[in-house]
Structure 1
Amino acid sequence: MSSVSKVYGSGPGAVTALDGVSISLSPGTFTAVMGPSGSGKSTFLQCAAGLDRPTSGSVRLGETELSSLRERELTEVRRSRVGFVFQAYNLVPSLTVRQNIELPLLLGAGATDPGWLEHVVATVGLADRLDSRPSELSGGQQQRVAIARALITRPDAVFADEPTGALDTRTARQVLGLLRSVVDSTRQTVLMVTHDPLAASFADRVVFLADGRLAGALEAPSPAVVAERMTRLGEW
């Protein structure tokens, strides 16, 4: 992402959600994005993942310039090269766990690789629940299904938006530990938006946003240091 700005509206009422943000994510790393409410976190994630187009600047996924793609091409990139994990899980109630995990493939992202499916299912700890429906699972298990679904296409990057926001503390730790292990074992690249210093501490690096601009970063963050930095940004 290079010099990315995103402006909503026009004229005197225009709102600048991102203001010249530049950042690079190394393959196989776990990055958390934090900032006060209204700092541009969600807009940052949406532009980085190709869910929204920046007003100006460049967003690249590998060698692909996202902002130059037509909508159909962008949809194909999101389907096959990007994984998404959201707070609300977004599972299809009528489908089994296996079908939910394979959904991106069923929608055209490619054929199922049985070996990779087996690996992903084992990684998230759902090998014995493949025939269950989402309603038969706990919140943590449903989020594990969502993580498996995000990984099934072997994406260039996984984007997680408050993935533990609906979970209790113990379950959240388990899900965050899973994301950490996915990065370490498969060299997956993960970008996570969060408001929680504990969640951010599972990442390799925390990037802070304030008023749509980068406001610093921390390497190998601890919850206490993250919370202190957020206090200075006016959030805590």
Structure 2
Amino acid sequence: MNDVSMGVPRGTFTAIMGPSGSGKSTFLHCSAGLDKPTKGRVILGDMPLASLNEEQLTEIRRERVGFVFQAYNLLDSLTVADNVGLPFRLAGAPVPADRVRTELAGVGLADMGERYPGQLSGGQRQRVAIARALITGPDVIFADEPTGALDTRTGKQVLQLLRGIVDRTGQTVVMVTHDPVAASHADSVTFLADGRLAGELTGPTPEKVADRMTRLGEW
């Protein structure tokens, strides 16, 4: 990344796009406190992440940030309900069973709590991952190619769920994607190329996003 300066407004859905090697994953990892930038600063809400030690960063990631990945990152040995409550167990805190049930109902899996990830479809597993990301009431949810392993219909359901989270709760979603259709669910799309900002698009449609992607070299 090189001279990247941008802000993500609270309560919005932002998509990050760019070709392979453009810096999308680096941007996401630095924004989420998974990696530290070699220079510059990252501020989450009112918290400058660069000033925190690893223990403090772990606490921030556990309480104020939610993660949704393409590979789901569920533990096959735990039930769906236990996977959703895992952030509390890792923090050494009691798991709020009512909240787990509420989050599962919110993603359409109210009756799946006692099943195991291996008994679910890909779309259902991704919904479990979203419920786990929401369980602590984070400031922002970072989604890295959340529909990359899903078929078109299931991917659309997951995107509608992410869109609904922003619209209903006012939480913030930042999503890395290569798919113009996925990006069209966002409020705006930020483009990266060669580690630099390469423009922004508000009110995205699949056609507008695809056209901009073909013209990134002009930036």
The normalised TM-score by structure 2 is 0.96
Aligned partners of 2:65 and 2:142 also within 8 Å: yes
The yes-or-no answer on 1:108 pairing with 2:88 is: no
Q: Distance in 2 between matches of 1:124 and 1:201?
A: 21
- Letter paired with 1:121: L
**1:39 and 1:211 in contact (8 A); partners too:** yes
Q: Which runs of 4+ in 1 moved over 6 A?
A: none
- The structure where strand makes up a greater share of residues is 1
1:158 aligned counterpart, secondary structure: strand
**Ranges in structure 1 where 5+ consecutive residues have no aligned partner:** 1-17
Q: Which residue of 2 aligns with 1:176?
A: 159
Is the 2:101–2:113 Cα contact (8 Å) retained in structure 1?
no
What is the aligned partner in structure 2 of residue 188 from structure 1?
Answer: 171
Are 1:233 and 2:216 counterparts? yes
- Partner of 2:132 in structure 1? 149
Instruction: Give 1:79 shift.
Output: 1.1
Note if contact 1:110-1:153 (Cα within 8 Å) is conserved in structure 2.
Answer: no
Amino acid at match of 1:74: L
* Structure 2 residue runs without a partner (length 5+): none
The one-character-per-residue Cα deviations of 1:140-188 (angstroms, maximum 9, x if unpaired) are 0000000000000101111000000000111100110111111111111
1:211 aligns with 2:194: yes
2:123 and 2:154 in contact (8 A); partners too: yes
CA RMSD of aligned residues (A): 1.2
The count of aligned residue pairs is 217
Where does 1:39-188 land on structure 2 (aligned, <5 Å)? Answer: 39-108=22-91, 110-188=93-171
Moved more, 159-168 or 105-114: 105-114
CA drift at 1:117: 3.0
Are residues 30 and 42 of structure 1, via their aligned partners in 2, closer, same or farther at CA, if it must alter by over 3 Å? same
